[in-house]
Amino acid sequence: MTMQFNEETFRGDYTFRNSPAAVRRFPFPFDRDSYAYSVNIEQHPGGPKGSPFEFAFDVDEHYVAEMKDREITLAEDPMRCQSLPHMELAGWDLLELIMVSKARDYPELFKLTRDGNAWHWINKPLGIDKKFTFLDPTTLPCGPMEYITRQAQGDFALLHEREGNLWLDAGMVTSQADWSLDFDVGMNFFEWHAPVPKARKMGVFDKALKFLLAVTQEQSYRRLNWTMTVNPRLDTSPENYHKWGPEKRTITPENVGAKQFLRVELQTFWRLPRSNALAFPIRCYLCNLEDIATQPKWGRRLHRVLRDIDPDLAEYKGFAVNQKMIVEYLSQYDDGAPTSPGIFPED
Amino acid sequence: MRKLALKVTEIETLSPLVKRFRFEDPKGGALPVFSGGAHITVEMPEGETIRRNSYSLISDPYDGSGYEIAVRREDRGRGGSRFMHTQVREGDEITVSSPANLFQLDLRARKHVLLAGGIGITPFLSQLRQLGMEQKPYELHYAARSREEAAGLKLLPEAAHIHIHISEEGARMDLGAILDGQPLGTHVYTCGPDGLIKAVADQASRLGWPRTAVHSEAFTAPPPGEPFEVVVKSSGKTVTVKADQSLLEALEAAKVEIDYSCRGGACGRCQTHVTACDGRILHNDHWLSEAERAEQKTIMPCMSRFKGARLELDL
Ligand code: HEM
Ligand code: FES
C-alpha cells in the first residue's frame, strides 16, 4: 500500500479536497434518520478494512497537510499546547502508544526500533529520523506529548483521574470545534462540559463519566461527535472566532454544497499504563455536502437529521443561521425512500 | 475482558501466612507495564466454578518480564487465598487479568507519605518503585504485629525513608507524629485494616489536611453472608448465592454473562439494573451514592448481597 498525501490548505485559499476514496471512507456519524445526544460508545479499534475505525490511529491522505496546519497554529499561539507538570509521564505513555500503533499498522510509513529505553523513530511522510531515550525529556526537542502530537492528526486531551473525576490537565488542541484548551485546562469533566445544552439533564454526562473511569488498559473505546463548519477549516477556535465566524455569512444557495462541511470527530479513549491517565484523542474529518450527497443513503439521511434537529442543538453547534439553506439544498437528494440502519454507505 | 495466560515461575514463603508468587509469559513475551498501586485479578478454577480474587502487584511497574503478588492465607475467607497457598505449584498455568489501578499516586503531590498496616503493604511495593523512578520525595511507614508476621520486610529495601513499626517490640506507629509537620502539598496514602484508614483520616482532618490529599485503598474482598436467591430477568432462571460466594461468582457459575473488573466494589463495571426488589439490598460496594443505594434500583454484584423475598436482575 502506498499512500498519496494531498498538498492542500485549511485556511486562506482553502484548497482542501477529499478524493473519491476519502469520501467513501468518511466516518458518517448517523446510524438512523434522527439525532439526539446519547452515550454512543463502542470498542476501538475495529471496523471494516479501509475504514477510519480499522486502526488505533488512522493516517489518511490529509496527514502531512494537517501537520503543517498545526505548525502554523502553534507558531501563532503556543498556548494551544499545554501540559501541567504532573502530566509528563502521561505524555510519555501517549508517545509510546502512538509510535507503537503507527509502526505496527503502517509499517511502510513509520518504524520504531527499541533497545531498552534507547529508541529510534522513523516517520517517513514527515521526514523525521530521531534517536532518543524513552522517559528522558532532555533527549527530545520538546515535551513528549508535544513531540508526538506534532506528528499525529487530531487534537489530544490527557486526563488526570482523581476524586472520582477526570481533570483536563494536558492537551494539544488546534483543530477544535469552538472550545479552548487555555480556558478548559485544569477543569473537571462537568466543568468543561457545562456549555453543552440538555445533555447533563438527560444524565448523559453522569453515565459517560462512570464509563470513562472504568476504562482499563486492556480495552479502548470510541464515539463519534459532529458539528457543521463553513469552509474546510481545522482551527475553529474561540481565540480565532473573528477569522472564521464571519465566514458563516458567506453561504449562498449556490455555494452551500461546496462550502458547507459536515465536521465529524472520531473520539477515542485509552487508559495509559504508567500514569494511569486517560488519553482522549479527538480526530477531525471534514466532508462537504456535495461529497456527502454522492452516497445516496447519506444525502437522504443528513437531510432528515438536519431538518428535524432540536433547535437548541443547531444553535449550540453554530449552524442555525444557515440551517434553512442547508436543508433546502439537501432536500434535492431526499426522495423519501427508506434508509438502511448503520453508518456505512449502501453499495 | 482481556486475559493473560501465564506461568507460575516462582513461589516463595515470606512469612508463615504469606507467600509471594511470580507469573511470566510462557513464551517469554513482555507483559503490559502498569502504574504503582495497580492490581490484577487471578482466576482459580475449583471444580465447576472459577473463583477470582484481585491482588495488588508488588513488582516493578515498568518491568514487563513478570508480575508478582503476595497472598496472605485467610482461612476464614472465601477460599481463594487457601487455593493459592495449597493448590498452586511452580510451573502451573494461571490466568490473570491485565492490570487496573484504583489506588494510584497523585503525581501532583510535593511529597508522598505511605502508611501500611500488615498485608496492606502490598500496593506500596510497586508505588515505591514508581516513586523512585520518578524521583519523587516520599516516606513509608509499615506497621506489623511481630517481625515474624511482617512479610513485607523481605520485600522492602533498606533506606532512611522506610520506617518499620513492630508493635510487639513496643514501636507502634504514631500517626500524629508522622503527619504533623509534613510540608504543604504532601499526600498521604493508607492501606490496611479499616481502623487504620479511619484513624489516618481523622488525624489528617484534625491537622487541617485537605480531604483531596488523603487517599486509601478502596477495594476489599467481598464479605460472606447468608445465602439468598436472585432471578435473572431474561431467562427467568433462579440463581442461588451460597454463603461463601459473591453474587457475581454465583451468576458466573450459572453462565450468566456479566462484566467486571476489580471485583471489589470500586470500579463500577459490574453495575446491574434491578427490575424487582421485595426486600433489602445489602450494599457493600464503594461505588454507588447514598441516593442510589436508597432507591434499590441498581446493585454491584461483586460485593453486595440481598435479604428478602424477591430480587430480579436485568441480565
Ligand atoms: C474525557 C474525555 C472528554 C473530553 C476531554 C471532552 C471534551 C469536550 C469538550 C471540550 C466539549 C466542548 C464543550 C464546549 O462547548 O465548550 C465537549 C462537548 C461534548 N461532549 Fe465531551 N469530552 C469527553 C468525553 C465525552 C463523552 C464520553 C461523552 C459521551 C456522551 C461526551 C459528550 C459530549 C457532548 C454530547 C458534547 C456536545 C458536542 C456537540 O453537540 O457538538 N464527551 N466535550
Ligand atoms: S467489578 Fe468493580 S465494582 Fe463490581
**Domains and their CATH numbers in chain B:** 3-97 (2.40.30.10), 111-217 (3.40.50.80), 228-313 (3.10.20.30)
Looking at residue B286, its pLDDT comes to 76
Whether B2 sits inside 8 A of A219 (CB atoms) is: yes
Residues of B in contact with A217 (CB under 8 A): 32, 34, 98-100
Looking at residue A202, its pLDDT comes to 74
Could you tell me if B108 lies within 8 Å of chain A, comparing CB atoms? yes
The helix (run of H) or strand (run of E) holding residue B35 is: none
Residue of B nearest to A116 (CA): B63
Instruction: Say how many Å lie between the CA of residue B258 and the centre of ligand 2.
Output: 10
* Ligand 2 and B251: CB distance under 6 A: no
> Does residue B77 have a pLDDT over 80?
no
Who has greater pLDDT, A151 or A40?
A151
User: Quick one: average pLDDT of A337-344?
Assistant: 93
Could you tell me if A131 lies within 8 Å of chain B, comparing CB atoms? no
CA distance B281 to B292: 11
> Does residue A198 have a pLDDT over 60?
yes
Q: Output the 3-class SS for chain A.
A: CCCCCCCCCCCCCCCCCCCHHHHHCCCCCCCCCCCCCCCCCEEECCCCCCCCCCCCCCCCCCHHHHHHHHHHHHHHCHHHEEECHHHHHHHHHHHHHHHHHHHHHCCCCEEEEEECCEEEEEECCCCEEEEEECCCHHHCCCCHHHHHHCCCCCEEEEEEEECCEEEEEEEECCCCECCCHHHHCCCEHHHHCCCCCCCCCCCHHHHHHHHHHCCCCCCEEEEEEEEEEECCCCCECCCCHHHHHHHHHHCCCCCHHHHEEEEEEEEEEEECCCCCCEEEEEEEEEEEHHHHCCCHHHHHHHHHHHHHCCHHHHHHCCCHHHHHHHHHHHHCCCCCCCCCCCCCCCC
Least distant ligand from the CA of A195: 1
The reported pTM is 0.90
Q: Tally Cβ neighbours within 10 Å of residue A262.
A: 24
Average pLDDT across chain A, whole number: 95
Classify B211 as helix, strand or coil: helix
Q: Which three cell numbers stand for residue B226?
A: 447468608
Residues of A in contact with B107 (CB under 8 A): 86, 89, 275
pLDDT, tens digit, 9 for 90 and up, residues B273-301? 999 999 999 998 878 888 899 999 999 99
Residues of B in contact with A218 (CB under 8 A): 1-2, 32, 97-98
Residues of A in contact with B212 (CB under 8 A): 162-163
Q: Under 8 Å CB-to-CB from A176, ≥6 apart: which residues?
A: A155, A235, A236, A237, A282
Which pLDDT band, with edges at 50, 70 and 90, does A325 fall under?
very high
Atom 35 (ligand 1) nearest CA: A37
Cβ-in-10-Å burial (0-12, 13-18, 19+) of A242 comes to exposed
Residues of B in contact with A163 (CB under 8 A): 212
Whether A273 sits inside 8 A of B99 (CB atoms) is: yes
Domain ranges of chain A: 26-331
Instruction: Say how many Å lie between the CA of residue B299 and the centre of ligand 2.
Output: 10
Best interface-test mutation with A: which of B35, B40, B131, B298 has the largest number of A CBs within 10 A?
B35
> Does residue A347 have a pLDDT over 70?
no
Of residues B146, B106, B153, B85, the one with CA closest to residue B125: B153
* Ligand 1 and A199: CB distance under 6 A: yes
Whether B268 sits inside 8 A of A214 (CB atoms) is: yes
Asked if A137 and A88 touch (Cβ cutoff 8 Å), the reply is yes
Strands A260-271 and A220-230: antiparallel
Whether B106 sits inside 8 A of A162 (CB atoms) is: yes
Looking at residue A224, its pLDDT comes to 95
User: Quick one: average pLDDT of A104-115?
Assistant: 98
pLDDT, tens digit, 9 for 90 and up, residues B78-130? 678 889 999 999 999 999 999 999 899 999 999 999 999 999 999 999 999 99
pLDDT, tens digit, 9 for 90 and up, residues A301-317? 999 999 999 999 999 99
Instruction: Say how many Å lie between the CA of residue A318 and the centre of ligand 1.
Output: 15
Report the residue among B54, B97, B300, B313 best suited for mutation to probe ligand 2: largest number of ligand atoms under 8 A from its CB.
B300
ipTM score of the complex?
0.89
Q: Considering A11, A25, A223, A271, which one is annotated as catalytic?
A: A223
Residues of B in contact with A160 (CB under 8 A): 108
Lowest mean pLDDT among A79-88, A202-211, B88-97: A202-211
| Minimum-distance CB partner of A214 among B35, B98, B267 | B267
Looking at residue A27, its pLDDT comes to 98
Looking at residue A208, its pLDDT comes to 86
User: Quick one: average pLDDT of B179-194?
Assistant: 94
CA torsion, points B225, B227, B231, B236, in degrees to nearest 10?
150
Residue of A nearest to B3 (CA): A218
Lowest mean pLDDT among B201-210, B217-226, B271-280: B217-226
CA distance B248 to B260: 9
Residue of A nearest to B134 (CA): A89
A223 given a catalytic annotation: yes
| Minimum-distance CB partner of B212 among A84, A163, A275 | A163
Report the residue among B39, B52, B257, B270 best suited for mutation to probe ligand 2: largest number of ligand atoms under 8 A from its CB.
B270
User: Quick one: average pLDDT of A120-131?
Assistant: 98
Whether A273 sits inside 8 A of B104 (CB atoms) is: no
Looking at residue B78, its pLDDT comes to 67
- Looking from the CA of residue B261, the nearest atom of ligand 2 is 1
Angle at B88 (CA atoms; ends B83, B90), nearest 5 degrees: 165
| Minimum-distance CB partner of A213 among B98, B130, B268 | B268
> Does residue B1 have a pLDDT over 60?
no
Instruction: Say how many Å lie between the CA of residue B301 and the centre of ligand 2.
Output: 7
Q: Tally Cβ neighbours within 10 Å of residue A31.
A: 15
CA torsion, points B229, B230, B234, B237, in degrees to nearest 10?
0
Could you tell me if A217 lies within 8 Å of chain B, comparing CB atoms? yes
Atom 4 (ligand 1) nearest CA: A280
Looking at residue B220, its pLDDT comes to 66
